[in-house]
Amino acid sequence: MRAEESAHSTPFTPEEEAIYFSDTYKLLDEGVHSNKKRKFPYRYWDECLDRGIRGNYVDHFCNSKRMISNILYHFISNNLYSCIERAAGKAGFRIQDAYVIHKGIFADSLHSPQSLHSEGRAIDIAAVRIKTFWKGWGEINFQRSGGGVFYEELRSCWGETLYYNNECPLFKGQPEMTGSLGKEDPDHQRHLHLSVPYCINGQHAGPYFRR
């Protein structure tokens, strides 16, 4: 496996994020969405109330000011819920509601400047919580079920979305490998890495990893 396919930086914990972004919160609250540190504009994701997709960091309450790139926010808020719905359908569930439990978005660019986490363009998902009519709330945990139908279909849906809407080529010709890293990678046994790769005109653009 090529290094760029598997290399991964660990995103911030909520506590590390708060320290790293302590100056940036002020800029965002003042309406400034970019600074010299970041190549791409960023914003807050209101994990508690977002109308597209809600979530929380593992073992933490939802955060109304989770730091995220505009582009990852756009794709998760517009597409992740419908991909979860499609994946649940494939696994035999009709869902009423869903949210994600994640292990962070941004990582320190000093550690891996090529990682999509360094620009807030990737999220590590540990589990998806779904609500169905018959069983109420339940959890589809990635460590346990990452190789199964639900996550396979979720990844295919995400990859197709990036192919059609973000000018990304299919990774190895496979939608389920496009914009995600999972059980096929030794570093991704416990979380699903979902990213929005930097793509221009149907090509991956440097210096970032392709997924």
Interface residues toward Zn ion, by CB under 5 A: 122, 124, 193
Residue 88 or 122 having the CB closest to Zn ion: 122
Report the residue number whose CB is nearest to Zn ion. Answer: 193
CB of 102 to Zn ion, least distance (A): 10
Please classify residue 135 by burial: count the beta carbons closer than 10 Å to its beta carbon, then call 0-12 exposed, 13-18 middle and 19+ buried: exposed
Residue 13 or 132 having the CB closest to Zn ion: 13
CB of 6 to Zn ion, least distance (A): 11
Q: Helix crossing, 81-90 with 149-165: angle to 10°?
A: 140
Residue 66 or 193 having the CB closest to Zn ion: 193
54 Cβ neighbours under 8 A, 6+ residues apart: 47, 48, 62, 99, 100
CB of 105 to Zn ion, least distance (A): 9
Cα 11 from chain centre: 11
- The string of DSSP letters for 86-112 reads HHHHHTT--EEEEEEEES-S---TTT-
CB of 39 to Zn ion, least distance (A): 18
- The string of DSSP letters for 14-65 reads HHHHHHHTHHHHHHHHTT----TT-SS-EEEE-TTT-SS-EEEETTS---TT
CB of 94 to Zn ion, least distance (A): 30
Alpha carbons 67 and 23: distance in angstroms, whole number: 12
CB of 134 to Zn ion, least distance (A): 33
Tell me the backbone φ, ψ of residue 115, rounded to 5 degrees. -70, 140
Half-sphere exposure of residue 83: CA atoms within 13 angstroms, side-chain side: 25
